[in-house]
Amino acid sequence: MTYSGTANPNATNSELDAKVIIKHPQLTSDQRNGVAEQFAELVVDGMDMKTLVQYVYDDLIEYYEDCSDVELKEQIDDYNEDLYDELVENVQIEDLMKERTDA
């Protein structure tokens, strides 16, 4: 079976409109950033608090894991000058406890 068709010579406006190729405009960097900001606002507005908190937590973990040791310490010191030593001690104690339970 061979299909053969021809264009409708009496196309209606809706048929013509359906065939219009939509060209996306070239945006400047500022315009593109504006579109991104508007979309981000819509996405955030659609999140519940639990999802929003999880998203921020995951993003922060990824950011801090990519920091060098010096950068991570600087980030923590900027938050609280005494916190770095406490956090290091916490993970070292956790590792010691884990070693004892694994032995």
Structure pTM? 0.61
Confidence tier at 24 by pLDDT (50, 70, 90): confident
pLDDT given for residue 15 in this prediction: 61
Please state, in angstroms and as integers, the Cα–Cα distance from residue 75 to each residue in 63, 71, 92, following that order: 11, 6, 20
DSSP designation for 46: T
Percentage of the chain beyond pLDDT 70 is 81
Question: Could you give the residue ranges of the DSSP H alpha helices within 46-82?
Answer: 49-66, 69-79
